[in-house]
Structure 1
Amino acid sequence: MADDAAVQVHSPWERYGWIVQSVWLVFLFFPISAFLGSDQHPISARVLGIGMVVVFAVVYTMGIRRLQRYSSLDPGAALTGPIHLVGLTLIALGTAPIIGSEVLTFLPFIVAFGMFALPLFWGVVTAAVAVVGSGIWAFLIAEGTGLWVIAFITLAVAVMTAGSRFLGEQGAHHDAMSRDLAVVEERERVARDVHDVLGHSLTVVTVKAELAERLLAIDPERARAELADIQILSRQALAEVRATVGGLRVANLSEELAAARGALAGAGIDPDVPTDSAVVDPRHRTVLAWVLREAVTNVVRHSDADACTVTLGPSRLTVADDGRGMEARPEGNGLRGLRERVTAAGGTLTIRTPEAGYGTVLEVRL
């Protein structure tokens, strides 16, 4: 039986990034050289000190690996960094009785680790304390020992790691916002497409059902034909809704022209609709197909018109009816969705009442 556990996919950096970061351990050469040069201590003490440097390197590497492995949602994430940081600090302090002021050579590693192991604020505080402390020790207490180089290295490491941490968090924040925006856009797309699909299909089904009801008594054969059409339209609408939710729905202008003629005729509106969509630029056909669908649906639902004319151009669509006009009604979700589609395609949508004072003209230019 297949394992139901989710398979986690790790990036190469997540797997092997600790190796790149551990390259900096080469600079532990400085404390090692301090132990080797500490002639005033017995060999056993120097060997012990070198062993502590090795332990420091192991704890540093393990800490990096665990920090990369943990997600911010994992229970151990909040404690892993501080625990390893405390361990590194104690190991470094343990070498002080042997190498004295040279213990400062561990600071760049502690600062770098702390910047990523702690929250950004506390990482900066830790780095600031380390930089100020190393500077005071190098320039005031241990003047002339050459430790000023370590103080400057500590400062450089603090600045670089703080900048890297800040940019990394900003990048993560940007990625999260991008994902949220993509989710919102997808929701709007699905809502817009479902509205267009259901609005048109249910309007046509309603018109045909009313027509079939009127024909039952006077023309049963025609009524049965209308009922058969209703079944076909219902199945098509169901398929379109499924395709829309799955992101597969693409409006076809030729099909929408044919559907527009049928919907208008079924509603008792004289249709003047082109039969050929070849005049339209192929780049604009999908957008204009959605516009045509919504516009014709509105004519059937609200216009109370006797005739409707559809005109096509290479980058233009006009739907004009002789009905009662907008009558100062606010735009509904359908028209708002059309504006969003047209604007996203770089076009404009206008709705006006002709000079005759009645009817509505909807025009889209891309």
Structure 2
Amino acid sequence: MDSLTGQPRPVSRRWRLTGWLLAAVWLFFLNVPFSTALQQPQSWRRIVGVVTLVAFGLGYVLLFQWARNLRQHLLPIPVHRARLALLLLLGLGLASIPGTAGDWTATLVFVAASAVFLLPAVQALVIVALCALTPLVAAWLVPAWTGESTVTFAVLLASFAMFGVSRLAQRNSELQAAQQEIGRLAVAEERARAARDLHDILGHSLTVVAIKAELAGRLIEVDRDRAAVEIAEVEALARAALADVRETVGAYREVTLVGELAGARSALVAAGIAAELPAEVPTLPQEWDQLFGWAVREGVTNVVRHSGARCCTIRVHQDLVEVSDDGRGPSAPDPSGHGLVGLRERALRLDATVTVGRGPDGSGFLLRVHAPGEAR
């Protein structure tokens, strides 16, 4: 199945031809009744025998291909249609009696095998039993039909073989379905990851761009030089955001704690928020450095957007990072924001804990990412 369109992949021409051959090769076992029909002294009997056997063989091959195609596309086989098809096969076999005499029972081998492939286990078992008993009962009722006990053995053997084939086909279908589901989930997860990354990048960058553009608009009449500086920074931020998007698409982007602290200082100053940042940061493993960088980015973005704060404090230790402010804080802290979801998922990969809520004194807002004990 194509992972993009959700449609089954087309079956190759060679594989379709192989399927036809697998179905047709078994028609060799109709040679006995076919030979009997050709040796009939009366022409009408020859015609009836040959025509019905040809129709029987064609019907069997088409039925097999129909069921095989449904299995390949992971579709259920309609039981009522399968029963009707088996009745038609049996009817063609019975119609061949004028030309094949007792050898018509060879068609029961195909009916039994088809039932195993098409029907649920209990129904198939009943049909196999009836097909196995029919030659014995027919030979007892019509003494001229001798040697039909071999057909009973053939019915049982073919049914057992088809049972193995059908179970193998079912397992292959289940494996194919599982592989397709894994592929679909992988695509969905990758799309969600890309969406989170783009949100985290553009949400932060565009917030800072908007604030700096607003500041430049206010300064343009009173301090053109300062406004020009702010506009230059807006241009630089826009170019950096574009580069981040390109790197995200290419899966090359790296977030670092030092880089995010520098960006946080610029964003907070542009928003008129006093920034208390650490003068130094501890040396961290790469994965923790990236996680703490994401935490700083998400926390500062929320402070600039929503807090109305006058001061933002960022603390970094070996085992945790905190972003807090003295703003109004949320009336009901919502941990399900899109950015926080992405941060939580990144933290979960390292068994870290993400805490959001009001500050220790009950005011403002606090975002904390805490490493587990063994990672400290």
Q: State if a TM-score over 0.5 links the two structures.
A: yes
Letter in 1 for 2:14: R
Structure 1 position 363, deviation (Å): 1.5
- Cα distance in structure 2, aligned partners of 1:22 and 1:84: 21
Are 2:355 and 1:350 equivalent residues in the alignment? yes
CA deviation vs aligned residue, 1:215-251 (integer Å, no higher than 9, x gap) = 334432121110121123234334545665x464734
Structure 1 position 288, deviation (Å): 3.9
- Cα distance in structure 2, aligned partners of 1:28 and 1:62: 12
Q: Secondary structure at the match of 1:329?
A: coil
- Preserved contact between residue 258 and residue 275 of structure 1 (Cα < 8 Å): no
- Taking structure 1 as reference, are residues 170 and 23 closer, same or farther at Cα in structure 2, changes over 3 Å only? closer
- Preserved contact between residue 281 and residue 316 of structure 2 (Cα < 8 Å): no
- Preserved contact between residue 39 and residue 46 of structure 2 (Cα < 8 Å): no
Bigger shift: 124-133 or 231-240?
A: 124-133
* Structure 1 unaligned regions, length at least 5: 1-7, 74-79
Are 2:288 and 1:252 equivalent residues in the alignment? no
Structure 1 position 41, deviation (Å): 4.3
Give 1:133-148 correspondences, 5 Å limit: 133-142=130-139, 145-146=148-149, 147-148=151-152
Are 2:98 and 1:97 equivalent residues in the alignment? yes
Structure 1 position 294, deviation (Å): 1.0
- Cα distance in structure 2, aligned partners of 1:243 and 1:43: 84
Letter in 2 for 1:336: V
- Taking structure 1 as reference, are residues 19 and 183 closer, same or farther at Cα in structure 2, changes over 3 Å only? closer
- Cα distance in structure 2, aligned partners of 1:197 and 1:351: 20
Q: Secondary structure at the match of 1:142?
A: helix
- Taking structure 1 as reference, are residues 180 and 196 closer, same or farther at Cα in structure 2, changes over 3 Å only? same
Partner of residue 341 from structure 1, selected from 340, 346, 362: 346
Bigger shift: 228-237 or 156-165?
A: 156-165
Corresponding residue number in structure 1 for 2:219? 215
Give 1:1-366 correspondences, 5 Å limit: 15-16=14-15, 18-19=17-18, 22-23=21-22, 27-33=26-32, 41=40, 92-93=93-94, 95-112=96-113, 127=124, 130-142=127-139, 145-146=148-149, 147-157=151-161, 159-160=163-164, 162-164=166-168, 166-167=170-171, 170-171=174-175, 173-175=177-179, 177-241=181-245, 246=249, 248=251, 250-253=253-256, 254-267=258-271, 268-273=273-278, 279-303=283-307, 304-311=309-316, 313=318, 316-324=319-327, 325-326=329-330, 328-331=332-335, 332-351=337-356, 355-358=360-363, 360-365=366-371
Structure 1 position 60, deviation (Å): 5.4
Structure 1 position 46, deviation (Å): 8.2
Structure 1 position 102, deviation (Å): 3.6
- Preserved contact between residue 112 and residue 124 of structure 2 (Cα < 8 Å): yes
Q: Secondary structure at the match of 2:314?
A: strand
Aligned-residue Cα RMSD (Å) equals 4.7
- Preserved contact between residue 311 and residue 318 of structure 1 (Cα < 8 Å): yes
What is the count of residue pairs matched by the alignment? 345
- Cα distance in structure 2, aligned partners of 1:162 and 1:274: 70
Letter in 1 for 2:232: A
Structure 1 position 50, deviation (Å): 8.1
- Cα distance in structure 2, aligned partners of 1:284 and 1:46: 85
Q: Secondary structure at the match of 1:280?
A: coil
- Preserved contact between residue 36 and residue 103 of structure 2 (Cα < 8 Å): no
Structure 1 position 297, deviation (Å): 0.9
Structure 1 position 318, deviation (Å): 0.3
Letter in 1 for 2:15: Y
Identical counterparts, % of pairs: 31
Structure 1 position 310, deviation (Å): 3.9
Q: Secondary structure at the match of 2:316?
A: strand
Q: Secondary structure at the match of 1:308?
A: strand
Corresponding residue number in structure 1 for 2:144? none
Letter in 2 for 1:343: L
- Cα distance in structure 2, aligned partners of 1:169 and 1:329: 47
Bigger shift: 258-267 or 280-289?
A: 280-289
- Taking structure 1 as reference, are residues 155 and 236 closer, same or farther at Cα in structure 2, changes over 3 Å only? same
TM-score w.r.t. length of structure 2: 0.68
Structure 1 position 287, deviation (Å): 4.0
Bigger shift: 61-70 or 291-300?
A: 61-70
- Preserved contact between residue 127 and residue 158 of structure 1 (Cα < 8 Å): no
Bigger shift: 60-69 or 150-159?
A: 60-69
- Preserved contact between residue 35 and residue 49 of structure 1 (Cα < 8 Å): yes
- Cα distance in structure 1, aligned partners of 2:189 and 2:112: 42
Letter in 1 for 2:322: V
- Cα distance in structure 1, aligned partners of 2:83 and 2:293: 60
Structure 1 position 357, deviation (Å): 4.7
- Cα distance in structure 2, aligned partners of 1:287 and 1:42: 90
Corresponding residue number in structure 2 for 1:4? none
TM-score w.r.t. length of structure 1: 0.69
- Cα distance in structure 1, aligned partners of 2:87 and 2:317: 74
Q: Secondary structure at the match of 1:226?
A: helix
Corresponding residue number in structure 1 for 2:5? none
CA deviation vs aligned residue, 1:230-288 (integer Å, no higher than 9, x gap) = 123234334545665x46473421543332232233333224146778x2323444444
